[in-house]
Structure 1
């Protein structure tokens, strides 16, 4: 047998299974550590950016507000939010004027749009029992069509005084918020939809109606906590 033949018949070296498993385990552990580290580093920045975005939006949807205070709505009523405690309820962003008088409340709402979930902040004025404005916080709708819910002046005009008054029992809206075909709005609780973007328009109407039906009766039942905040008063 020639030297070449003998060399060809020699078995190829193999990597021990335990060594491979140790290597894979080490790689997985390092990857997991890096993911956790990246989350811990970026999470405070993400939260701060969200806080600033909501604060900017609040002053747009609550006319006259120059200061804000956060509350939590739970089954027990309304209480000031403790930032160090886990959130267990609905966040209410109360806006106050320079004299500490309540100007309105901003709330988040969301619904499925044409391409993705649309999330917005809307301002509620308890004096007129109406929505005073909306600001889109997250959206991935079709450019030039669905994204007009954040740009179209006529659509935005729907929310200068959108009626969300309660019924006589105070446990639901007197009239549900609905979107109607463009140019067919006849009542103050209706939203004049954007032509060609009915899915996005309907999503806005649906999220506002669902949020208002669920939250506003409970807000009015404990409104004193917002008009005369405890633990130090208005900011």
Structure 2
């Protein structure tokens, strides 16, 4: 059986999105596409239910229930009252609109937030393909040497040169967006936020963004709590 835990107390943010979201995802520590949904919940002060499946029990859930909830049979999946929400980045954008935050105010800001998110989606696809391949020792090594630097350099240049990003630490300068959480999460999962930011030493603007996300009061508290699993 999956483990289910409820975190937080329902808040005005929960009223804004219509209730307490029930996040279904793999039991993969504090990593993956499902984790960034948890991260938004933590930052926004949303109470949420965390439903985690071991990799052994997931096939049974997929066969018996998941395809009725999501025809693609994939996680993460969020249940919210009578709604079934799928696709992690669409869920983030949906919550952002309901909360009136995390996506920018002008069309230019919303566009730029989407741009950074879409770059990270491409990056994560390459990361997952390399890290979970049968020949991981070679494919992940090749990825770290050749593929990851392309994304790091490109994102660094975007953030240090685009007018929207140069006024502060976040993608939108002074305002946090869902793109900051998405970018933070891939850096975390790819072991770039650990060891004193050693993996980001050549990318000071990205390191600045990582620090800014981790210093958000609710995120900082989360990272120091037993809800954070590494």
Q: TM-score, normalised by structure 1?
A: 0.28
Larger Rg: 1
| Structure of higher RCO (CA pairs closer than 8 Å, 6+ residues apart) | 2
